[in-house]
Each structure stands twice: as C-alpha cells, then as structure tokens.
Structure 1
Amino acid sequence: MKTVSARIDGELITAQEGQTVLEAARDHDKYIPTLCYLKGLSATGACRVCMVELAGTDRLLAACTTPLQEGMSIRTTSAKLEEYRKMAVELLLVERNHICSVCASNGRCELQALAQSLEVTHVRYPYNNPRLHVDMSHPRYVLDHNRCILCTRCVRACAELEGAHVWEVSARGISSVLVSDMADDWGNARNCTGCGKCIQACPTGALVEKGFAFPSSEKSSEMIARISATRTIAHHS
C-alpha cells in the first residue's frame, strides 16, 4: 500500500494513503480530542472538536474527515485551537441539560471528561436548552433527549454494525432531536433488535440501560471497534 509523508506538530511521520489526519496522529501517539468520532464507525465531523490547523491556510480542518496528503504540515495544539475547542464544548453544554450530578453517566461521560480536560468551568453563552422528554418506552433502555449532543454515534452504530437503521436525526438547529423509526416511541420501533450497540456508542447519558445508575452505568465504546474489526475480517475471508 502506498504511503504519504507529512508533518504533525513538526514531526515527520509516514502514514498509509487514505488515512485521515486523526488516524495518522493516533498511530503516532498524538492526541486530538474527539466526541462524534468513534473507531469502527464512519466519520462525520459533526462535533468540530477535532479541528486542526493546516500550514498555508487560515481555515481549520476536521481531523476525523480530512485525508492526510503528501507534504501537509498539521498543528494539533495551539492557543487558537484550544479556544476553539472550548467554545465548541460550551455550545454543546448550553444546547441541552447537562447537570452532571444527576446524570447516570456522571464520571463516565466523554463530554464531561473533555470539558474537564479543557478546563471549561463555566459557559459564556446563554442556555438554550428546550424541555425535552425522556423516552422510557423500550423494555431495556432509556433515551434522555436532554443529554443528547447529536453526535450520531448511535445512528451509525445501529445502521453500520447492526443493520437495523432504527435511529435518525429529525429537524434542524435547536429543534434537532434523535428519532426512532417514524418518530414513534422507541418501544414501538419494529426494527430495534435490542442489541445495545447504540447504548455502548453513546458518549453521554442520553442512552442508558434501565436499572443502572451511577456508578454502575459503565459503557465500553471499545466494543464498537471490536465488532467492526470482526465484521471486516469476516467480509474479507
């Protein structure tokens, strides 16, 4: 397979042709924060947390969807990027109700962990979070729209790994919500197999299993990568 050479934070690296900036950076132990990205699923660049700087342009690029090309010079850390990432996290926090102390994923939430790592102790913008319902119609799982960051990891896990296509995002802007089947209650979704892949893919407390509360609601997003790898091996065998 062909390779490309580029610089990430000044270090000359070699990566496989077709790899994204994020994949190449992680292969060389360089940290770029993410929320909507999850190994084993397709990348969408929805959360904009993984933005990086490319020499020669003022435009920031999403590392998870930008292919690494020969001769690129990428910067993953800077004052500009840190401020941009803080802003992105703050905007996520003001769009929904993220009161960590009463969330089932408190201490195991990727949004919470990222906010802490970026030292986001408060938000500079007015809260816009609408009053959203909690869907408890499913016999095993709960969907709390108030915790959802619309990363679509559950949508992609259900479609790409389970093939059930239960989830989709409806409407736009502040009105966007996760919907199952024809915007019916989750418990009425005929295509849902109850596999729980969407639960494991969710980075927050939006999707959790019934009967589990902090500190028992631990998720394993690595399961998604293992399932994806198994499917890839089976497909090529």
Structure 2
Amino acid sequence: MSVNTLKIDGIDVAVEAGTTILNAAKEAGIPIPTLCHLEGVSDVGACRLCLVEIKGNPNLVPSCVTEALEGMEILTQTEQLQEYRKMIVELLFAEGNHVCAVCVANNNCQLQDVAIEVGMDHTRFNYRFPQRDVDLSHPQFGIDHNRCILCTRCVRVCAEIETAHVWNVAFRGAAAKIVSGLNQPWGEVDACTSCGKCVDACPTGSIFRKGSTTAEMVKDRSKVEFLSNAREKHQWTK
C-alpha cells in the first residue's frame, strides 16, 4: 500500500494514496464543512463549502474531489476560507425559500447546522423569493423545490445505490432544478421503487415523507454508507 505524507493545518498526516483531502482531514480529526458530500456515493464538488488552500497553489480547491498528495501543505480554516464559506451559505438562503420555522427538517437540517458552524445569522444579499413548486404526486413522499439546494445527493444515491435513475438536474442557471423522470410528476415515474433513499440523503427538508409536520422529520443518512459498503464487500445476508 502506497502512503502519502502531508500537513493539514500544521498537523502531520499519513494517508493511503488516492485518499481525498477531505477524508485525510477527517482521519486527522480536522473538520471541514460540507453539504453535497455524502458517505457512500461519489463526490462532485457542487457546494464548494469544502474549499481549502494548498501552499504554492493560487487557487482554492474543493477538498472532496482533490487527492491528498505527497508533501502537500494544506490550510482549512484561514480567514479567507471562513469568509467564502459564510458567503456561500448566505447565497443558498437568499436564492431559495428556506423558512426554518415551518420546515419538516427544522433542527435536523444540515443547511441549518452549517449556517451555525460558519456563523451565518443573516444574509447580506437580497432574497430572490423564486416561484417554485411542490410535488406531492407520489403516494409516500413529496419534494418541495423551495428548500432544494441542488446538492444532487438524491440524484447520486438513486443512480449509484438504488440504480433506478429517477432524479436528474434540468434547465440552467437560476432556473436549474431537480426533476424526476423526464420532468414528470414524481408519482408518474415508473422507475421509482419507493425505497426512500433520496429522502434520507437529502440534507434539507426538500424531500420528505408525507405526514411529517414541522421539525418532525428525522433522517438516517448513515443508511446510504451502510448499503454502499455492504454491496462493495458482498456482505448481504440471505
């Protein structure tokens, strides 16, 4: 096994070759905020919250999709990074309709947790108040596009774990949205197995179980990692 040695925030770290900076930091007990990252599915670097600085590199890099290489010197908590992360969270709140007080995921929302972590208590940007719909056509679940942050975790878990390929991203720019099927109502998509993995994968209250009321939604995000590991290691029981 090839091993790379590097420094993260001044701490010497040794990791297996191919390990991402995010996972290397995690092994060293160094927290880096994320939203689009989910254990058990591939990383896409969508949210940009996990940006880090690398000595000698003028660009900030997303730690979830950047390999930890031999000799790297990485900084994860500089003033610049903290300001960028705070701004990203402010933009997420400003461009959507996130009303925590009436959300099913209130107090169990990763967007909320990250906002607290980066010290965001207001946004300097004007709220867009976009006109977004709610799809309740599925018999068990619903999706509220007002709360969606386009992390694509639902897309990846459905494609990579359930292999149903129900979800995708359609349109561009401010009009971009998560769609089911070929932009059909969720309840009309025959490929959906009603497994609920996308519900557990969602970091906000965007995808929810019907019947959940304010602050009642609790999600088991470890389920995805468990299923991924079990499949990879052929640990299924008969």
Q: TM-score range, shorter-chain basis?
A: over 0.9
Aligned counterparts, 1:10-49, within 5 A: 10-49=10-49
Q: Which residue of 2 aligns with 1:65?
A: 65
Deviation at 1:10, TM superposition (A): 0.7
The secondary structure found in structure 1 opposite 2:161 is helix
Q: Distance in 2 between the 1:185 and 1:204 partners?
A: 20
Q: Which residue of 2 aligns with 1:207?
A: 207
Deviation at 1:128, TM superposition (A): 2.0
1:75 aligns with 2:75: yes
Q: Give the letter aligned to residue 128 of structure 2.
A: N
Q: Which residue of 1 aligns with 2:157?
A: 157
Q: Distance in 2 between the 1:102 and 1:216 partners?
A: 10
Q: Give the letter aligned to residue 206 of structure 2.
A: A
The ranges of structure 1 where at least 4 consecutive aligned residues each deviate by more than 6 angstroms after the TM superposition are none
How far does the alpha carbon of each residue in 1:3-62 deviate from its partner, in whole angstroms, 9 at most, with x for none? 101000011110000010001111111100000000101000000000001011221110
User: Does structure 1 retain, via aligned residues, the 8 Å contact 2:101–2:214?
Assistant: no
Q: Distance in 1 between the 2:207 and 2:33 partners?
A: 22
Q: Which residue of 1 aligns with 2:50?
A: 50
Q: Distance in 2 between the 1:119 and 1:215 partners?
A: 22
Aligned counterparts, 1:164-203, within 5 A: 164-203=164-203
Q: Distance in 1 between the 2:215 and 2:83 partners?
A: 32
Q: Which residue of 1 aligns with 2:8?
A: 8
Q: Which residue of 2 aligns with 1:112?
A: 112
Q: Distance in 2 between the 1:132 and 1:39 partners?
A: 29
The secondary structure found in structure 1 opposite 2:61 is strand
The secondary structure found in structure 1 opposite 2:169 is strand
Q: Distance in 1 between the 2:47 and 2:134 partners?
A: 23
The secondary structure found in structure 2 opposite 1:4 is strand
How far does the alpha carbon of each residue in 1:187-233 deviate from its partner, in whole angstroms, 9 at most, with x for none? 00110000000000000010000011233310011111111111111
Structure 2 residue ranges without an equivalent (≥5): none
Deviation at 1:144, TM superposition (A): 0.1
Q: Distance in 2 between the 1:49 and 1:224 partners?
A: 21
Deviation at 1:157, TM superposition (A): 0.3
Q: Give the letter aligned to residue 91 of structure 1.
A: L
Q: Distance in 1 between the 2:172 and 2:28 partners?
A: 37
The secondary structure found in structure 1 opposite 2:220 is coil
Deviation at 1:107, TM superposition (A): 0.5
Q: Distance in 1 between the 2:50 and 2:97 partners?
A: 23
1:100 aligns with 2:119: no
Q: Give the letter aligned to residue 30 of structure 2.
A: K
Deviation at 1:141, TM superposition (A): 0.2
Q: Distance in 1 between the 2:2 and 2:183 partners?
A: 45
1:132 aligns with 2:132: yes
Q: Distance in 2 between the 1:49 and 1:122 partners?
A: 18
Deviation at 1:93, TM superposition (A): 0.8
Q: Distance in 2 between the 1:70 and 1:173 partners?
A: 37
Q: Distance in 2 between the 1:127 and 1:102 partners?
A: 18
Q: CA RMSD in A?
A: 0.9
Number of aligned positions between the proteins:
235
